[in-house]
A = this chain, B = another copy of it.
């Protein structure tokens, strides 16, 4: 398998983490997002939406969207429940991540890491309330459970870990979210865990 990726991306990291934990060998291709390498005709032929990560799961066959790739890789493994309801609950938290968490916490981090914080100050400030609201939803969910779905580590945890564990790089303080911090430590202690910068 081959992964089109960007090392700083939490979305890319979700796929790297699942590949590592499932001990699937792969070749990684680093793209420079800031230089438009995901908007070339060659890359748009792989993913018309022009975003990493993209997994070439078979020669010339491509799958995009980090959470869809994670679902594909985890299907049939202990990282994804094998019952209909469990799969749907995992998806509930993955869609929560992409709609209610990533656009605030990940985007804030991206702008700060790429030096755009000053020019986008008003937009950045507007992301604080919904970003903290997402963290509050997570804190509430973790009040009486160790993982997001079914008392077992799954790709729902992978999806939410990716940008939550670097939320401070987006200006978010996890001090008021003790359950989230305990859960971050539990996720980092899983077998074959790799950090975000591991290629």
A residues sitting closer than 8 Å to B (CB atoms) are 48-49, 57, 63-69, 71-72, 75-76, 84-85, 87-89, 91-92, 94-96, 98-100, 102-103, 137, 140-141
Are B98's CB and A99's CB within 8 A?
yes
The smallest C-beta distance from A118 to any residue of chain B, in angstroms, reads 18
| B96:A140 contact, CB within 8 angstroms | no
Asked if A95 and B92 sit within 8 Å, CB to CB, the answer is no
* Chain B residues closer than 8 Å to A72, beta-carbon distance: 84-85, 87-88, 91
Main secondary structure, interface of A, reads: helix
Q: Residue on B with the closest CB to A122?
A: B122
| Inter-subunit contact A92/B76 (CB<8 Å) | no
The one of B48, B49, B67, B92 in contact with A91, judged by C-beta atoms closer than 8 angstroms, is B67
A147–chain B nearest beta-carbon distance, Å = 16
B103 x A49 contact (CB < 8 A): no
Let me know if A71 and B91 touch, CB within 8 A.
yes
Q: Is there an interface contact between A49 and B137, defined as CB atoms closer than 8 Å?
A: yes
Pick the contact of A140: B48, B87, B141 (CB < 8 A). Answer: B48
Closest to A49 in B: B137
Are A84 and B76 also in contact (CB < 8 A) when A48-B140, A99-B99, A140-B48 are?
yes
- Given the known inter-chain contacts A98-B99, A99-B102, A102-B99, please indicate yes or no for A68 contacting B88, CB distance below 8 A: yes
- Is there contact, CB below 8 Å, between A88 and B71? yes
